[in-house]
Amino acid sequence: MPNDLPVLPFDDELASSFVGKYILVGITYLDPTGAVERRQQMHGVIKVASREGILISLKGVHEGQSWNMPPMLESIQVAKPGSYTLHSTQETIENPDLLASWTVQAPPPEANH
């Protein structure tokens, strides 16, 4: 069966509007059955947003590190004003500009033949 997921074109203008914005990212890792294995949260300032990826200069407990997020702009949304508490570190982020959420599922184990 062919993959029917639409491929959205990369919007250079939208991507460039994200540079300098503060982003809060949440990643949920699932096992092959779909059960949650772990969650990760990070935050920081977007330094580069291009077709190669979205480079985030991390802040807080990850200060000094960076993370390159896949260049899927549709995963980013404008954050509502308020306080966001990260469950993993108990850090509180006040009024981030953007939010991104990812779910990563492990592939099923290969069948033994």
Q: Which pLDDT does position 6 carry in this prediction? A: 57
Q: What is the pLDDT of residues 26-85, one digit of tens each?
A: 999 999 999 999 999 999 999 999 999 999 999 999 999 999 999 999 999 999 999 999
Q: What gap in Å lies between CA 73 and CA 84, rounded to an integer? A: 21
Q: Which pLDDT does position 108 carry in this prediction? A: 87
Q: What is the pLDDT of residues 18-43, one digit of tens each?
A: 999 999 999 999 999 999 999 999 99
Res 111 pLDDT > 70: no
- The model's pTM is 0.84
